[in-house]
Structure 1
Amino acid sequence: MATLGMSPAEKDAVAAFRRDVVEPSMTQLVIIDFWAEWCGPCKALGPVLEKVAAAYADKGVVLAKIDTDKNQFIAAQFQIRSIPTVYAMFQGQLVADLTSARTESQLRTMIDQLLRQLPIQSEATDQQAELEPLIAMGEEVLAEGDHERALSIFGQLAEMAPEHPAVLSGHIRALVAAGLHDEAQAAIDALPADLADPGIDRAKAALALAQAAPAVDDLAPLAAKVQAAPDDHQARFDLANAQMAAGQRDAAADNLLHIVAADREWNEGAARHQLLKLFEVVGLTDPWVSAQRRRLSAILFG
């Protein structure tokens, strides 16, 4: 807004608007609520806006309230014809008209859409940038089989970000890998009922697989039994389960695929179902899983 030709009061209003609205919008999403004391709908909408803004504060959303009676010059600049009028501003530009959103659900939906599209600076994004390399390190350590160290890493991350799905998933899977199944189950039971995330599904699958395939102290007797009777699918299935529990996923996959190739319907497709559980635990985007899927497809459809 140019200040040339303005009165001192108008210049003050513009300076306050720049300070309270435009400057914060350089890094945050500013919700501008044009309202007035006499406006009934404004009074009804105001608390809803305040509640949503508070809920999204850590995501870089702030609320600026403009009393149109006290800021007539600013209201005129935005050509406010009726109130309440609600705009969203980012980097000094209006990016959305939120006036039609009168419920908390509607506001959340529109703000979520904006946050996905705009490079908002927030505590959440800063924390995510800080957590990503630490989560990757934890996952690498877990994949290498150093369960105790992985448990330590994810335990510390859980203190930093107790609600982060990737942290929760890694911590639960580390508990499972360390043989702490009761603790893993307790962690799963404590998850919010509405938490839907592929990483959480992966953690639940890891516990289910560990409970179905308990660890065996010595694999040699099972391996000898399979060697003596290669067509004994149950013996091979038991060996594969033990290998999975021991972290020998290549050997486990080989034995499960052997059963599928010999008799895909054995025990109601148990080998294929167990293999799919293993895929989910390892991670469906993992290159190892992609390679094993190709082997499975070649058997089923080759």
Structure 2
Amino acid sequence: MSAAEREAVESFRRDVVEPSMTKLVVIDFWAEWCGPCKALTPLLEKVAAAYADKGVVLAKIDTDANQFIAAQFQIKSIPTVYAMFQGQLVADLTPARTETQLRTMLDQLLKQLPLESEAASLEAELEPLIAMGEQLLVEGDAERALSVFAQLSEMAPEHPTVLSGMVRALVAAGRTDEAEAAIAALPEEIAKLPEIERARTALALAREVQPVDDLAGLAAEVAANPENYEKRFELAGGQMAAGDRDAAADTLLAMIAADRTWNEGAARAQLLKIFEVVGLEDPWVSAQRRKLSAILFG
């Protein structure tokens, strides 16, 4: 092996093999005279940049300048695109000539490979802190929850769960105008996500429910005249505004059991909003949904 060949091997080891120990390296074999290469390279650069936080990097190998390396990979034509992980070729990406095709192939690979991506590392760091913020919201400590989510937003400013928690903490703290402004400022692609829809529902619910000065008095009035559904609905809103979701759910469930069609199913719609705000995976929601199903289908 000549000195030039040894240098080429060392460069390939440093720039491709070593990064592949923890990342998925997309290797683009190209040449300056290759027209299709010039068309494909910008696409590879774009997708690699988009997948960088998932552990994907791009390595470009000029076959004219690295003939020895190209020969080792038996490159017969260019562009040729391979994927390497932990020093081994794991896929031939050459057939992917569109962004959609390339993303599809990378997504399939990423599901199979144990990459140490920045995104996964950040997610692991965020998870317990997000849980802490959510628990504070459950406990009614809106200000501390807001502090937690504010710190998280500095770590992950575009994380949808963090953004949702921030907005819901603002709502819980009574700062609904700030919550509305925060949602309005979100990029369109983030604003459409389910996590943000949960926050939007929390804001809508907070604007709908009204605090009641004398909840006990209203409850007594409802008990004396249970067919006054407007008052029962007002009671549920007052209970929710006071942070008593158990009582609010009981009131709404009783309304649904008595007349599920009242006001075009307003009680059920309101209950479903509460479920979404609390979180559809929450054990409390699961218990309440079982009660609702028993009423509707029992």
Q: What's the TM-score once normalised by structure 1's chain length?
A: 0.93
The code of the aligned residue for 1:47 comes to: P
Identify if the C-alpha distance between structure 1 residues 117 and 204 changes in structure 2 by more than 3 Å, giving closer, same or farther. Answer: farther
Counterpart in the other structure of 2:109: 114
The residue number in structure 2 matching 1:87 is 82
Report the equivalent of 1:52: 47
Q: CA RMSD of the aligned region, Å?
A: 1.6
Counterpart CA distance in 1 for 2:79 and 2:210 is 62
Q: Which residue of 1 aligns with 2:16?
A: 21
Looking at structure 2, the residues matched to 217 and 155 of structure 1 have their Cα atoms a distance apart, in angstroms, of 32
> How far, CA to CA, are the matches of 1:112 and 1:10 in structure 2?
35
Question: How far off is 1:17 after superposition?
Answer: 1.3
Percent of aligned pairs sharing the same letter: 76
Please name the residue that 2:274 is paired with: 278
1:189-230 Cα deviation digits (max 9, x unpaired): 112212243221211111111111133344233212212212
Quote the residue 1:3 is aligned against. Answer: none
2:201 is aligned with 1:205: yes
Match in the other structure for 1:12: 7
Structure 1 residue 180: Cα displacement:
0.9
Task: Describe the SS at the equivalent of 1:82.
Answer: coil
Q: Residues 109, 218 of structure 1: CA spacing in aligned structure 2 closer, same or farther, 3 A cutoff?
A: farther
Between 1:238-247 and 1:53-62, the stretch displaced more is 53-62
**Deviation by residue 1:76-95 (Cα, 9 ceiling, x = unmatched):** 22121110011111111222
Q: Alpha-carbon deviation of 1:106?
A: 3.3
- Residue in 2 aligned with 1:244? 240
The aligned counterpart of 1:184 is 179
Q: CA deviation at 1:32?
A: 0.3
CA distance in 2, matches of 1:99, 1:214: 61
Which residue of structure 2 lines up, in the alignment, with residue 223 of structure 1? 219
Residues in 1 aligned to 2:212 and 2:149: alpha-carbon distance in whole angstroms = 26
- Count of matched residue positions in the alignment of Structure 1 and Structure 2: 297
| Alignment correspondent of 1:269 | 265
**Aligned-partner SS, 2:187:** coil
Q: CA 1:19/1:126 → structure 2, altered by over 3 Å: closer, same or farther?
A: same
SS in 1 for 2:81: strand
Q: Pick the aligned partner of 1:157 from 130, 138, 152.
A: 152
Question: 1:25-64: per-residue Cα shift (whole Å, max 9, x none)?
Answer: 0111111000011111111222222232233323322111
| Superposed displacement of residue 244, structure 1 | 1.2
Which deviates further from its counterpart, 195-204 or 156-165?
195-204
3-state SS of 1:194 partner: helix
Distance 1:178 1:216 in 2: 18
Aligned to 1:298: 294
For residue 39 of structure 1, the aligned residue among 34, 37, 41 is 34
Q: TM-score, normalised by structure 2?
A: 0.94
Q: Which stretch of structure 1 is more off in the superposition, 210-219 or 257-266? A: 210-219
